[in-house]
Amino acid sequence: MGKRALVLINKSAGTGKAGNNTFAIATGLAERGYEPIVYPIIPGSGLTSETIIGRYDGQVDEIVCSGGDGTLNHVVGAVMDIKDKPVISYIPAGSTNDFAKGLGIPSVHASALEVALDGYPFSYDVGKMNNRYFNYVAAFGAFSKVSYATDQDLKNILGYAAYVISAISELPQSLGYNSHMKIDIDGEIIEDDYVFGAVCNSGSIGGMNIFGKTDVKLDDGEMELLLIHAPKNIVEFNEILGALATNIESSNLITIKQVKKVKFMSETECEWTVDGEFGGAYKETDISVINKAITIKVKHKK
């Protein structure tokens, strides 16, 4: 039997254009000796990445997915739960495509298709938050809801601008947010009030380049922990804003560490965002990094 490729299309993601290249994807795969097996991803139905991929364990050589960061999150989660892990090709069709930017996958569909068909395999780190996997971010606190709470129709029309509008509308409640956390960072305990926290495998979150010129490595067995301490007055608040706008490492109110394992403990349940989707609410949250767990096609050999 020849090679087989599972093609998953989430047309409801991002701008709704994920299905436009389905024929080109199938044609390109067939020309390269693959038997393409095409499925639509329909949220809320039985056609999900988890159910489809689980049925093809050990039966496909590659998975091609077209959708947003959330689509890729579900594909990766399903691949992590099967025995034989095929290489993944990702054609980004979301509103911000943060993780694709970190991988160097083009946002233009034709260019992304070229990478999906003829790119180079690259194995990267995957995060695990409690019982859920993530590619590039698990976050709590101010503005962390924006990515999954923003109206999909607004995102389809405005793209990244929709996130900005939603963030502004949330500004009053976000500025008043803080969560008291005890955090175990690879055995070191710290404790404080935080307005935002994230474990990241990407320099871009919500379309914004959070870490500036810092080179965020995706395959070193570690992820970046970002903690923004709750400001006690307007001076500290302005200091945080200035650091985020210019140099994130310039303020003592912002903590950045590389981590392999981290545990967050709070007295009340804290809501989390995982790769732009609601990730649950917990009093205790364990996050670990699984080194080079997933292989994906990228533009340049790494």
Which pLDDT band, with edges at 50, 70 and 90, does 284 fall under?
Answer: very high
The Cα–Cα gap between 160 and 113 comes to 22
Mean pLDDT of 108-122: 92
Structure tokens at 261: 């394992």
The Cα–Cα gap between 174 and 144 comes to 9
Which pLDDT band, with edges at 50, 70 and 90, does 181 fall under?
Answer: very high
The Cα–Cα gap between 70 and 29 comes to 24
The Cα–Cα gap between 86 and 220 comes to 21
Identify the residue with better confidence: 238 or 151. Answer: 238
CB 99 within 8 A of CB 19: no
The Cα–Cα gap between 199 and 149 comes to 20
The Cα–Cα gap between 67 and 89 comes to 11
- Decide if pLDDT at 18 tops 90: no
Angle CA 281–286–292, to nearest 5: 120
Q: Given phi > 0 = left and psi -120 to 50 = alpha, else beta, which region is 237? A: alpha
Which pLDDT band, with edges at 50, 70 and 90, does 109 fall under?
Answer: confident
- Decide if pLDDT at 177 tops 90: no
Percent of the chain whose predicted confidence (pLDDT) is above 70: 80
Which domains are delineated in the chain? Answer: 3-118 (3.40.50.10330), 134-291 (2.60.200.40)
| pLDDT at residue 34 in the model | 95
Q: What backbone phi and psi angles, to 5 degrees, belong to 65?
A: -125, 140
CB 287 within 8 A of CB 138: yes
Alpha helices per DSSP H over the chain: 22-31, 49-55, 69-80, 98-103, 109-118, 146-149, 152-158, 160-169, 171-175, 234-245
